[in-house]
Amino acid sequence: MKIRAQVIFVLLLVIFFALFVYEARGWRLQARLYPWVIGIPMVVLALLQLLLDLKGIAPKKSQDDTPVDFQFTQNIDPALARARRINIFSWIFGFLAGIWLLGFSITVPLLVFLYLKVQSREGWTLSIALTAAAWLVFWGLFDWLLRLPFPDGQLLIWLGLD
């Protein structure tokens, strides 16, 4: 049995998610709900993948079985591909910074709206409607139904608005 890099990666995932679930065991139910709902299925799926990798069972490869990003970047100018990567990472890091500064409750609708207006160049009606829908789903699921408390953003704490 040959240990490949893929097996080591999946083993690290099993360890990570097992620790993720284990650390949440002593938390109150409301706090451990999220880590358990995500972590337990991930442990099971990672263990299944580890078993398949160790047995050497791999999906059958077809002729066109290449990664999607490879197919998309074959005929694209490298400068354009680099600009697209920078763009998407900017949105991701902006989202993370927004969560830290403003908190989830403000950042989620704000980033949905900004992405629709700035990046996708959608109209005002669609942008506002989809932002309202995203906020309603976010609020309805996490705040109203699950009653998960999200921490206030750092900027709000600094300004005393928390």
Asked if residue 151 and residue 79 are part of one domain, the reply reads yes
Contact in structure between 80 and 92 (CB atoms under 8 Å) = no
Asked if residue 141 and residue 92 are part of one domain, the reply reads yes
Return phi, psi of residue 20, to 5°: -55, -45
Tokens describing residue 98: 């927004």
Distance, in Å, from the CA atom of 162 to the CA atom of 149, rounded to the nearest integer, reads 13
Distance, in Å, from the CA atom of 32 to the CA atom of 25, rounded to the nearest integer, reads 7
Tokens 């600094």 belong to residue: 158
Asked if residue 89 and residue 36 are part of one domain, the reply reads no
Asked if residue 137 and residue 78 are part of one domain, the reply reads yes
Asked if residue 26 and residue 82 are part of one domain, the reply reads no
User: Domain range for residue 143?
Assistant: 70-158
Residue at 61 is within a domain: no
Tokens 């704490």 belong to residue: 157
pTM reported for the whole predicted model = 0.58
Asked if residue 39 and residue 79 are part of one domain, the reply reads no
Asked if residue 80 and residue 46 are part of one domain, the reply reads no
Question: What pLDDT does residue 44 have?
Answer: 96
Asked if residue 75 and residue 27 are part of one domain, the reply reads no
Q: Is the pLDDT of residue 64 over 80?
A: no
Asked if residue 113 and residue 154 are part of one domain, the reply reads yes
Distance, in Å, from the CA atom of 18 to the CA atom of 40, rounded to the nearest integer, reads 8
Residue 148: pLDDT band (50, 70, 90) is confident
Residue at 65 is within a domain: no
- 115: Cβ–Cβ under 8 A, 6 or more apart, which residues? 91
Return phi, psi of residue 103, to 5°: 90, 165
Residue at 63 is within a domain: no
Tokens describing residue 65: 């079985």
Tokens describing residue 6: 């893929």
Distance, in Å, from the CA atom of 97 to the CA atom of 107, rounded to the nearest integer, reads 9
pLDDT tens digits, 98-140: 999 999 999 999 999 999 999 999 999 999 999 999 999 999 9
Size of the chain, expressed as the number of residues it contains: 162
Asked if residue 78 and residue 147 are part of one domain, the reply reads yes
Asked if residue 50 and residue 15 are part of one domain, the reply reads yes
Residue 74: pLDDT band (50, 70, 90) is low
Q: Give the mean model confidence (pLDDT) for residues 57-64.
A: 67
Residue at 136 is within a domain: yes
What mean pLDDT, rounded, does the chain reach? 88
Residue 30: pLDDT band (50, 70, 90) is confident
